[in-house]
Structures are given as C-alpha cells and as structure tokens.
Amino acid sequence: MDHAKSRQSLNLFKVFPSAYCLLTSAFFISTCLITTLVPRPVIGAERLTLSYGLLQRSIPIDSLETYARTGKIDDELATYARYAPKEQLEQLREVLLTPIPLNAVQVSQFLYTPIGERLLEILAEVIQGETRSTGLYGIRAALILAAADSQNFNLLNILRKFPSSEISINLARSLQFAQSIQSFVNRTQQAIALINKQFNQQTATILPQTNNIAKINLPQSGFFRWQKQTITLFDQSRNRTFPVDIYLPFGSNRARVIVISHGLGSDRTSFAYLAEHLASYGFAVAVPEHPGSNTQQLQALLSGRSAQVTAPGEFIDRPLDVRYLLDELTRLSQINPAFKGRLNLQEVGVIGQSFGGYTALALAGAPINFEQLEKSCPAFQETFNVSLLLQCLALELPQSRQYNLADPRIKAAIAINPVNSIVFGQQSLSQIKIPVMIISSSADTAAPALPEQIQPFNWLTTPNKYLALINNATHFSTIAESPNTAIPVPSQAIGPNPALARRYVDILSVAFFNTYVANQPNYLSYLSPDYIRTISQQPLPLSLVRSLDFNSSSIFLEEHSSNSQH
C-alpha cells in the first residue's frame, strides 16, 4: 500500500483549521469593557501596515474589502498581488469572508480564561496598533465588536473593528512564526513518512502469511446482545456527582470491563459507538462523564456561567472518577442483582481520547511531571502545539501533595490523540508497565502527532506497545456527532470519512483488549501489519508499528526540544 498520497503540502489555512478556530475564538471581550479600554470613539482601522525593521509598506483596508467582495484588485493592492500565486489570492478572499460560528458572549468568556489570555499574548507579538498596548487590547476589542455583528463576523470585519487607524503587522516576527510552523510541519511529515515506510516494509515481509489471519470479521458487531443503563455516582470525598453509562452483555459471565474516557468538551455519547461495539464482543463497558471538562462545562463557559475552560483539578479528578467508578461497580456487583456475578473488575481496560487519552495514561501508571511542566511551560511560545495551553494548567495544582492516580486493576490502555508530552514527558511515560496503544492522526492540529503521540510512543518502555497512525485524520475524526455539541466543528476540521476512522477504532480496540485484557492470544493476529493492510482504505490509510528508530534523525530537534528529554 502506497502512503505517499497521504502527504499534505503546506497550506496554513488547510493544515491548521481547528487551531484557527481556537485562535479566533480566543480574542473577544465584553462590549462594556471596550469602552473602558478604548475611551475614544472607535473609528476602525484604515490601513494594514507590514513592518520589517525600518521598512514599512501599507495596504488600505478598503482595497482588501473591495477585492474580497468583488474580486477586483485596485492599484494599491496590485503592487502586492503580482507577487502572489492566483491560488493564494483566492484563498485570501475566502479567509477574509469566511463566517466564524461564534457569538460575542461565547468568545468573550473564553478570552478571560488562562488559555484565552495566553493566546492573546502570542498573537499580540505579531499584531500591533499605534502603540504596543493597543495590540493585545485592540485585538480583543476588534473581535468582540465584530462578533456583535452576527451577520458579518469574519476576518474582514475584525480588521474594520480594530480600534486604531492602523494595524501594524510585525513581518519579522510573522516570518519567525511562519518558519517555525513550516519546520514543525516538515518534521511531522518526515516522522509520518518514516512510520508509513516502516509499516510498508513490515507488510512486504509478512505478506506470504496472509492465510494465517484470523477469520472473525472485526468491523462487524459481535455475537453478544447487550443492555444499557445509566447510573449516577456521588463521591462524597470530592463532593463530585457524575453519570455513567453501563453497557452489559447478556450471557457473558464475569465480563472484563472497559472504561471509556471522553475528551475536553465532549460527553459520554462521543464514543457510544465504541461502547456498543465492545459490548457486542462480550466486554462490559463503563462510560463516565467527567463533569468538570465535559460539554456542559464548555457550555457554561460560553454562556457566562463559568470563568474557565476547565479547572486544573480535572487533571486529578478525571483519573479519580475512573477509580471511584471501579470501586462502586465492585460494591454493586456484590449487592445489586443487575451486576452480581457479571463483572470481572480485576482485569480492566481503559481507552480515552485527547484529555481522555491523558486520563488513560495516568491510570496506566504515568504520574504528573511537575518538574517537566515548570521547565517547559514558559518556553513554548513559538510552538504551534496548542495542547500545551491545556497541559500547562496542571502547574496550578498544589505540588506539595502526592497524587496517586494509577490503578492496578487497569491491565491495558489505549490513548487516542492524547495530550501528554509535557504533563508526563519521558520520565513519567517510561514508568508505564502495562500494554499501551497510542492512536494518532496525521492531520491533528489540536494535539499534533509528532510531539503528542510519536515522541511519547518512543518514550514508552513497556514491551507491548503499539502506535497506530491514521493518515489524513484529524483530532475530531474518531468522535461521533453529538446533539449536545457546544460549538459545531467545521467539516474541514473533522476531516474526510470520519466513519472509517471510527471503524478503525472499533477494530483496534476489540483486538487489543481481547489480547491484553481478555487474555485471548488468537486476537494478536489482528494487531499484525498483515491484517492492518487488509482493512486500510483511502482516504485514511492506516499504519501500525511496534517500535521506531529515530535515534539518528533530526526529527526530534524541534522548537521545544527542551521539553522532550526530561
């Protein structure tokens, strides 16, 4: 199978769609505060000035607007347009007028979170008004004023609402960012190419063994019927109440238990498809909803009922939710007829996506690495790894306490698009002893593949480790659509054929958990390169490897290399 077609050329608007949404959502402030920060009447920017040292060139905003709305390039814009390819000019028109699906209240709430403020500081290094202070506050003011105009919330109107007659773009700093992003993308593509090449070499070697592949059709549902019920748990020690969906298979005595942990801003419906699939293969599946980092929490932020994306305490509460859940299921299996004799709670698997991937790895035995966080968080300004904004929240936890988050009942873990590179780092990930599978998406811009999955995979020392790479998939490809979504995810950010990505998760999970939780070695053949080759399809070709040799490569020498080796 040829993966060369899966490589993507660098187009910042296409390569980073989810990051673009996150960045634009960060820069809003309430209208009442605008009058305090900008006491004079807001006229709006008239010119966009590019500065490089002592050199300056400017473009009237009117010229950009005329081009965006009509396609006509006037004399002012023609000076610059002649140097740009036609494709880029068309992209400029699209970007200037693309609607942003957020309102002023939502993004102003997000702006006051530590994550939002950090994004503002980064952007203000490039975008300035007539004074340096106008940059940060000007961006914030422009975005809230543009968002208040629900019919015209787009980049062009943001430029129009900037509270200064001139917007200055620091071209030297912009080029530094662009070079950093280009280098980041190049290194990621190199790593992805290496993984795909290694996978193809393995399949070429093993190809004659095709007849030995197991015959169970894993993409199809298994033979077990199941029932779903919802229980509500209250952990008095933490004053924390949360619901759990339980999927119990019929006819499976003492079923092994699999726990699914959703990501930030998701809920327990996000991976209901996976819970149903696992239950049909005889696993009992428990899907808790983490109340401090679920869809309701994000909705509370966007509606003004919360002042933060998530609390730092979620780094502790999420794993403790799972531990308490297992304790309660143990208790219920002794006294509740619906559970009595039906659960094996000493052989448990855990799977999580994004923040849930962190949760799974913490339960598997990786402790929070405060020393790594203190070293890395002040130095990540020029990275395009936005997941570090979330990970650095863990620095606000009291470090004098001992956090024991691992659970010996967990026998195997799968982490999908996990955020973990600096909250764990090499020192913590190397402490995991149980089997681990990391599932990565090559087009993930929220938790980029190279720093958040490929490098952490190399840091794992457990002998039974797997790295599955879904080429062309994004951070959102494996998440099912939910009616409770706080902010709609653009189709471009979801990527092509998400149903295929979810099918891969179904297959890999059944094979992995049957092998390492249910102790059925015959399922190991489904984790072979030979079998993966039979299920891999375009537009999301799948690779699976068990080791990587990057020791002689410059791939790991990226802009936050200081984060990598502690």
Identity of the amino acid at 32 = C
User: Looking at this protein, which amino acid is placed at residue 2?
Assistant: D
Cβ neighbours of 417 (radius 10 Å):
31
- Provide the pairing of β-strand 465-470 with 542-545: antiparallel
d(CA 352, CA 510) in angstroms, rounded, equals 14
Residue 259: band (very low, low, confident or very high) from pLDDT cuts 50, 70, 90: very high
The continuous run of DSSP H or E covering 373 comes out as: helix 370-376
Residue 27 domain flag: yes
161 shares its domain with 221? no
* Domain count for the chain: 2
347 and 250 housed in the same domain: yes
Higher pLDDT, 405 or 54: 405
Last residue of a domain, one of 175, 191, 225: 175
3-state secondary structure of 414: strand
- Count Cβ atoms below 10 Å from residue 184 Cβ, excluding itself: 21
Residue 191, in any domain of the structure: no
**274 shares its domain with 413:** yes
Q: Looking at the structure, tell me whether residues 161 and 244 fall in a common domain.
A: no
- Asked if the structure places residue 199 within a domain, the reply is no
Residue 129 pLDDT? 73
Pair 156, 288 in one domain:
no
Residue span of the structural domain in which 142 resides = 4-175
Hey, how many other C-beta atoms are within 10 angstroms of the C-beta on 560?
A: 18
* Predicted pLDDT at 51: 74
Contacts of 363 (CB under 8 A, 6+ apart): 319, 322, 323, 350, 405, 406, 407, 410, 413
Whether 197 is in a domain gets the answer no
Kind of pairing between the strands at 436-441 and 410-416: parallel
Give Rg (Cα) of the chain.
25
Q: What is the mean pLDDT of residues 429-435?
A: 98
Q: Is 488 exposed, middle or buried (0-12, 13-18, 19+ CB in 10 A)?
A: exposed
pLDDT band at 101 (very low <50, low <70, confident <90, very high): confident
* Higher pLDDT pick, 319 / 170: 319
Mean pLDDT is lowest, of 278-287, 299-308, 419-428, for: 299-308
Q: Is 130 exposed, middle or buried (0-12, 13-18, 19+ CB in 10 A)?
A: middle
Domain boundary (175, 197, 231) is at 175
Q: Is residue 200 part of a domain?
A: no
Model confidence, pTM: 0.82
- Select from 156, 175, 194 the last residue of a domain: 175
Residue 324 inside a domain? The answer is yes
Q: Is residue 51 part of a domain?
A: yes
Interval 35-43 mean pLDDT: 35
Residue of 330, 333, 353 lying closest to 342 (CA atoms): 333
C-alpha closest to that of 444 among 421, 419, 466, 474: 474
